[in-house]
Structure 1
Amino acid sequence: MITTNRLKNLDLGTLRSFATIAEAGSMTRAAARLFMTQSAISMQIKRLEASLGLVLFERTAKGMVTTSTGEQLLGYAIRLLDLNDEAVGRLTSQDYEGQVRLGIPSDVIYPYMPDILKQFNRDYPRVQIKLSCANSKELKQQLKQGSLDVILATEKNPDGGGEVIGTQRLIWTGADGGNAWKQQPLPLGMSKSCAFWPSAIKALDSAGLEWIDQVTTEDFTAAEAMTAADLCVCVELGCALITGRAPIDHGGLLPALPDYFLVVYCADDTPSVTVSELMGYLQRGFA
């Protein structure tokens, strides 16, 4: 006689928590993004592991990392959640139309903005996002002139009128396994218009460390390429690293850097529904 195991159903809410932890690398950050308590999200994962009889995460010095079986489940979870969200978004969202002009500094587009924009487009398919990239100072000027509806700025001392959605420590970055940071004078690869340039120079001068400027263009991608090639070092937000660059483990040989705030500014005191919604997506995405 052939018998079959009782089929188990995966809870979508639990899968969303699981996928968010895998992306954020931390239960604390995942709970903040999902507006849940850490204890609640922890209980969800314990029940999921017990139900499947599998260990889905391992805790490392870099945070929570999926196991090999957890990585397999993650692929299924993303597909299931995408299908669920697409169905719910198409069937229940109001038929908003129009355009939202969004400004973002180029150095914080990755890794979060692609997912934020993808989710917003899924939920508001008839709202067009027009994206502009510039440094925070220029974006605030464009906002004041009426060229943009909402911006995300990186600031050490935020002005009034903005909403702080996160705080990130500046870090020294270089090529993965590189040695440029050991050179004297220190080769620095940053554009002069970068919001972090004054903090980097002040930290180096205060520490009495000599430095040279290796990048003369205002294009941030040039600094990225030079840094990834181990020709110089850079200063970036810890959340904005992409392939080719890594935090420098300098053991205190380079000076400490300050925190910077992620601040959302809106052109209108009473923004439209779509602008307000996009601001919410930014807040959750960078939590």
Structure 2
Amino acid sequence: MSQPADMPGTLPLLDTDVLRTFVAIAESGSFTRAAQQVFRTPSALSMQIKRLEETLGQPLFVREARQVRLTPEGETLLSFGRRLLKLNEEAVSQFLAPSLEGKVRFGTPDDVGTRILPGLLAQFARSHPSVQVDVVVDRSADLIDQLDKDELDLTLVTAGNQGQDPSRGEVVHTEPLVWVGREGGIAAQRSPLPVSLAAHGCCWRSMSLDALDKAGIDYRIAYTSIHCAGQEAAMVADLAISAFPQSLVKPPLTQLGTQSGLPPLGDYQILLLRRDGLGSASETLASYVKDMFDRFKT
């Protein structure tokens, strides 16, 4: 039976094996290096990519002398490709991997909990519905203390110039700490400089105070809060400026430029700490945490 004229044709399906090849080439920047990763010859990879480009009707790579780079269409497909491969992995694991059960006690600082945790826990719960995850949101120093007392299995903590020793945990995220204030505000022009700080024990607090002291800038602590929302409220009201992760800056807040005369703060890190003797459920959640931060970077 012929297809009605107004019915669209069936769209082609993307082959998972070809997508894996495409992602390997995109991430390595080389057909040769990607071939070693997927255990095929460079010529076989070239044929796969040629067929993929013909299927999509778009060029995906610009081939240069020593490397290849993605076209705009290739960059779009890379995002889809990573997600499709991850979804395929989750689907297969759901049926072939042993069913996980048990409880994981997981700690996180406030800033991580608000921007990363909701999506992470939702994804983990879909894949492992029999695992109970108990979450504690607290200061990094208190989370470390709870881990040492065997009250937590995993915890994320922040570390900076004066923060937690990075050798104790695994660095899962690094980003700049920057000075932030309300766009068009005047708080940064006041003297002494009003600052909004995290609570004692937070590396953001120590990094900002150390920088101001070394620069010889007169300041006053106008606002202190254990939660990011409290610091943000003071900045939105133009009562103070604050040291904030660059990724958290959004209107009406803005990063204060070098013309403000404020000293650089440097990078801070998020570390993943584990207690000894983790079970399989905790180790699986740890892998989800690292994967979530990898995607957060992109």
Fold similarity call, TM over 0.5:
yes
Aligned to 2:28: 37
Aligned to 1:23: none
- Check if 1:267 corresponds to 2:275: yes
1:112-155 per-residue CA deviation (whole Å, 9 max, x = no partner) reads 33222222222212111111111111100011112111111111
Aligned to 2:65: none
List alignment gaps of at least 5 residues for structure 1.
Answer: 21-26, 57-66
Distance 1:98 1:186 in 2: 50
- Give 1:242 deviation, angstroms: 5.5
2:181 to 174, 177, 189: 174
Where relative contact order (Cα < 8 A, 6+ residues apart) is larger, the structure is 1
Aligned to 1:122: 126
- Partner-residue secondary structure (3-state), 1:109: helix
Superposition map of 1:32-181 within 5 A: 36-39=27-30, 51-53=55-57, 84=88, 87-156=91-160, 157-159=163-165, 160-176=167-183, 178-181=185-188
Distance 1:211 1:171 in 2: 17
So what's the TM-score if we normalise by structure 2?
A: 0.69
Q: Which amino acid aligns with 1:172?
A: W
Higher Cα Rg, which structure: 2
Superposition map of 1:157-236 within 5 A: 157-159=163-165, 160-176=167-183, 178-193=185-200, 194-236=202-244
- Partner-residue secondary structure (3-state), 2:238: coil
- Partner-residue secondary structure (3-state), 1:196: helix
Distance 1:173 1:102 in 2: 30
- Identity within the alignment, %: 32
Aligned to 1:63: none
- Partner-residue secondary structure (3-state), 1:200: helix
155-164 or 3-12: which moved more?
A: 3-12
1:204-233 per-residue CA deviation (whole Å, 9 max, x = no partner) reads 121121222221443432112222333322
Distance 1:253 1:94 in 2: 57
Distance 1:283 1:118 in 2: 15
Q: Which amino acid aligns with 1:137?
A: A
Q: How many residues align?
A: 262
Q: For the structure 1 residues 14 and 114, does the alpha-carbon distance in structure 2 shift closer, same or farther, using more than 3 Å as the test?
A: farther
Q: For the structure 1 residues 108 and 244, does the alpha-carbon distance in structure 2 shift closer, same or farther, using more than 3 Å as the test?
A: farther
Asked if 1 retains the 8 angstrom alpha-carbon contact of 2:196 and 2:231, the reply is yes
Aligned to 2:263: 255
1:92-114 per-residue CA deviation (whole Å, 9 max, x = no partner) reads 33211111111111012243332
Distance 2:197 2:135 in 1: 23
Greater share of helix: 2
List alignment gaps of at least 5 residues for structure 2.
Answer: 35-44, 61-71
Q: For the structure 1 residues 214 and 104, does the alpha-carbon distance in structure 2 shift closer, same or farther, using more than 3 Å as the test?
A: same
- Partner-residue secondary structure (3-state), 1:256: coil
Distance 1:39 1:234 in 2: 43
Q: For the structure 1 residues 82 and 152, does the alpha-carbon distance in structure 2 shift closer, same or farther, using more than 3 Å as the test?
A: same
